[in-house]
C-alpha cells in the first residue's frame, strides 16, 4: 500500500492539484474521501490535523502537510518530478505558485462555488460581478504568458502549472468562458494529452 494519503473530494480544485501530480507522475496514492458539504472538515479530528479547516491534507508516514502549494512543494522534493532544474527555476516556479494562490485560485474558487453550487435564487449577482472583474485581468496575464511558451515557469511541466490548472478542468462548472483565451485553452489541452492525465471526477471520490 502506498504511503501517500490525500484527504480530498472530487469537487475540490485544490485537492485536484495534488491528485494530478500523482497521476502525471505515475505515483501510487490513496484518496481519503471527506464529506466536505456536510462539514466534516470542521470536525475536531480534522482540525487537529489542519487548524485551517480546509481541504486537502497530505499524510505521508508521520508527516502531515496542508495547503496545496506546500503539498506540491513537498511532493516535488520527495519525488523529484516537476520540481525545477536549478535554484533560478525553482524560484520562478514559486513565483507562479504564489501568484496562483493569491491572485488566481483565490478568485476562481469562490467564483465557481457561488456560480455553480449556490442555488440560483440565492446567488449574489454583485459578488459574482465583482469576482468576474477581478479574474479578467488575471486570465489576461496567464494567456499572455502562454503566448510564447508551453508552460508558465520552465521548459517542461512544473508544480506551478499543476497549481494554476487545478480549477480549470471543471468545464461547465466555471462561470466564465475559457474559449476566449486561446493560449490557456491550448495549455489545458497540452496537459490533458500527457500520459496519465485524468480529470478531477475521475481521480477523486465523490463519496465514500
Measured distance CA(27)–CA(44) in Å, rounded:
30
Q: What angle do the packed helices 105-112 and 13-25 form, to 10 degrees?
A: 120
Tens of pLDDT, residue by residue over 13-54, are 999 999 999 999 999 999 999 999 999 999 999 999 999 999
Q: Determine contact, residues 33/8, Cβ cutoff 8 Å.
A: yes
Beta partners for residue 30, in sequence order: 5
- pLDDT of residue 7 exceeding 90: yes
The DSSP code for 83 is S
Percent of the chain with pLDDT over 90: 96
Percent of the chain with pLDDT over 70: 99
Tens of pLDDT, residue by residue over 155-183, are 999 999 999 999 999 999 999 989 889 99
Q: Write the CB contacts of 194 (distance below 8 Å, at least 6 apart in sequence).
A: 24, 157
Backbone angles phi, psi at 59, to 5 degrees: -115, 130
b/e code 78-98 from CB counts within 10 Å (16+ = b):
eeebbbbeeeebbebbbebbe
Measured distance CA(32)–CA(207) in Å, rounded:
10
- pLDDT of residue 208 exceeding 70: no
Measured distance CA(145)–CA(100) in Å, rounded:
13
Q: CA–CA distance from 143 to each of 88, 122, 166, 167, 172 (Å)?
A: 23, 32, 16, 16, 20
pLDDT level of residue 1 (50, 70, 90 thresholds): very low
Average pLDDT over all residues of the chain: 96
- pLDDT of residue 198 exceeding 80: yes
This prediction's pTM: 0.95
Amino acid at each position: 500500500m502506498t504511503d501517500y494519503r490525500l484527504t480530498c473530494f472530487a469537487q475540490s480544485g485544490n485537492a485536484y492539484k495534488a491528485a494530478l501530480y500523482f497521476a502525471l507522475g505515475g505515483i501510487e496514492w490513496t484518496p481519503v474521501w471527506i464529506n466536505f458539504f456536510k462539514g466534516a472538515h470542521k470536525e475536531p479530528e480534522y482540525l487537529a490535523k489542519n487548524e485551517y479547516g480546509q481541504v486537502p491534507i497530505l499524510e505521508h508516514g508521520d508527516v502531515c502537510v496542508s495547503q496545496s502549494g506546500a503539498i506540491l512543494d513537498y511532493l516535488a522534493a520527495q519525488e523529484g518530478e516537476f520540481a525545477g532544474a536549478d535554484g533560478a527555476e525553482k524560484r520562478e516556479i514559486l513565483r507562479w505558485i504564489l501568484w496562483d494562490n493569491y491572485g488566481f485560485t483565490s478568485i476562481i474558487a469562490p467564483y465557481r462555488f457561488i456560480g455553480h453550487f449556490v442555488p440560483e435564487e440565492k446567488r449574489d449577482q454583485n459578488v459574482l460581478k465583482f469576482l468576474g472583474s477581478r479574474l479578467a485581468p488575471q486570465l489576461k496575464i496567464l494567456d499572455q504568458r502562454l503566448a510564447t511558451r508551453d508552460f508558465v515557469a520552465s521548459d517542461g511541466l512544473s508544480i506551478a502549472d499543476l497549481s494554476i490548472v487545478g480549477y480549470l478542468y471543471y468545464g461547465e462548472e466555471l462561470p466564465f468562458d475559457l474559449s476566449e483565451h486561446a493560449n490557456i485553452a491550448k495549455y489545458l489541452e497540452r496537459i490533458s494529452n500527457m500520459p496519465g492525465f485524468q480529470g478531477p471526477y475521475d481521480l477523486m471520490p465523490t463519496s465514500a
